[in-house]
Chain A
């Protein structure tokens, strides 16, 4: 005789520190059915984009996600460039690719740490996150920021690379290459780790295709799909040769190995970019207004295919900006993997897709005025900030 009951998990959920809500129908330790409720991070970005100019939107879409901010910016910038009819110069394109690959390196290292943490291997988490600081420092050196780099702009990139910066990037990546080899050996041979992730969260190839999985989730199930290969953007393809990484296993282990291999591919790509970096301008001048038209722009973000649909109407504001981030595309596959799994495997199965809830949710409105004393308006918040820093001896220019 079996009996089931419903186990609510979330909105504060077990994998990442972001809100989404699950309802698991469980029979003992086995998950029979899984349901999902999104929207806790909806911020109205697509609606907001319609009332802002293209340049404002560029920085708005960058804030859809902290981890793949550069991927969002690249996708939006290249989509709008197509509508404007401008083409970034060679050096701009190479730096654009370099930023994308460095961002992938930091994201995959971050994911490895989280995966280690979810299976109770916190040493691994400490190691990968320590090493991730190397690439974070490189990103900060190039762009001035640890997240939200602000590097992409219409017609190219915002900052150039100096020769001494290139030397530092080469040095940093050489170090990470050695570390990644260590992680790959560990992930593929260390028996407790392998025992914990092999065979967990199975997704057969035909299901991955049917459910529209993207990125490392699809590639871990043997689906050879990568926007860098299928729909080469920026310099990929002819100028920057790219090799796709797939695994046949269809479990969390396969997703781990795919990401480790992609790290090596990213190091190779960065190496190629830096060795063949063309001289010259980094951007061309872009018009303020965009002629009427529509376009689809795709980028391989760290988590998979990121697609933008942009419709312009001849003004300096877009008519419609639609964003589909990879995390949303992977949810149907995640629910499939969760069915039939053990309750104890829920966190790692969810984390194996590297879900980003800020990406999944993009559009809702905060209406917190139900007598909540903590609901502050913008001016109060600003005053609080000024007071906060004044007490600590920091004065802002506006105060005279």
Chain B
């Protein structure tokens, strides 16, 4: 399936639920959807577009909202699905049953940005220290690290 087929298939199945589709480079496609359509879109990508490699999930904080970006890779395209999220209630459905490779990516974003993945069976801390305070998410823009001065004796 080539790039035009991917674009047409997404447009056909998602219709106006696909809020934006851009191609800034020949091998790069960015698609914006809502959180409610994520599972359906991922199923579409896996079953209709036959894309089976999830490269990673990027989580980011723009200051006003959070975003999750799912990067899918094929032999001639990187398809990025962008999901904007409310900063106060960042909840996404897990896509583990469609892409099991997401297991650590979702946990990492849960640790660092506080996005909750509904249905993920195991959201224990993965990368932060065990004594890290709850509700503090270091990758959010309002979190600043102030290095404490070391003690010299």
Contacts and interface: CB of A to CB of B under 8 A. Distances in A.
Given A39-B129, A47-B139, A380-B150, A230 B101 contact: no
A371 B151 contact: yes
Nearest to B150: A377
A307 B56 contact: yes
Given A211-B100, A361-B127, A373-B153, A305 B145 contact: no
Contact of A377 (B105, B145, B149): B149
B101 A44 contact: no
Contacts of B54: 212
Contacts of A82: 25
Interface string B67-103: 0010101111010100000000000000000011111
B4 interface: no
Contacts of B145: 44, 47, 365
B42 interface: no
Contacts of B128: 39, 42, 364
B104 A328 contact: yes
Interface in A344-371: 361, 363-365, 367-369, 371
A231 B27 contact: yes
A105 B128 CA distance: 34
A309 interface: yes
A331 interface: yes
A299 to B, nearest CB: 12
A292 B104 CA distance: 30
A298 interface: yes
B103 A332 contact: yes
A13 interface: no
Interface residue SS majority, chain A: mixed
A144 B21 CA distance: 45
A206 B103 CA distance: 17
Residue among A38, A44, A296 having the largest count of chain B Cβ atoms under 10 Å: A296
Contacts of A212: 53-55, 99-102
Interface residues of B, number: 44
A375 B53 CA distance: 44
Contacts of A47: 138-139, 145
Interface size class of A (residues with CB under 8 A): 35 or more
B135 interface: no
Interface string B48-76: 00001111101110100000010101111
Nearest to A37: B126
B27 to A, nearest CB: 6
A316 interface: no
Nearest to A381: B150
Nearest to A371: B151
Contacts of B101: 210-212, 329, 332
A328 B145 CA distance: 25
Nearest to B78: A296
Contacts of B125: 39
29 contacts: A38-B127, A39-B127, A39-B129, A210-B100, A212-B54, A212-B99, A229-B75, A230-B73, A230-B76, A231-B76, A294-B30, A296-B28, A296-B80, A298-B55, A298-B73, A298-B78, A305-B73, A307-B73, A309-B69, A319-B60, A320-B58, A322-B56, A322-B58, A328-B104, A329-B56, A332-B104, A363-B127, A365-B145, A369-B150
Interface of B: 24-25, 27-28, 30, 52-56, 58-60, 62, 69, 71, 73-76, 78, 80, 99-105, 112, 125-129, 138-139, 145, 148-153
- The 7 A-B residue pairs whose C-beta atoms are closest, nearest first, are A212-B101, A324-B56, A377-B150, A39-B127, A322-B58, A375-B150, A320-B60
Given A230-B76, A324-B55, 19 more contacts: A38-B127, A42-B127, A42-B128, A44-B145, A210-B52, A212-B100, A212-B102, A225-B53, A231-B27, A294-B24, A294-B30, A295-B28, A319-B62, A320-B60, A322-B58, A332-B101, A363-B138, A365-B145, A375-B151
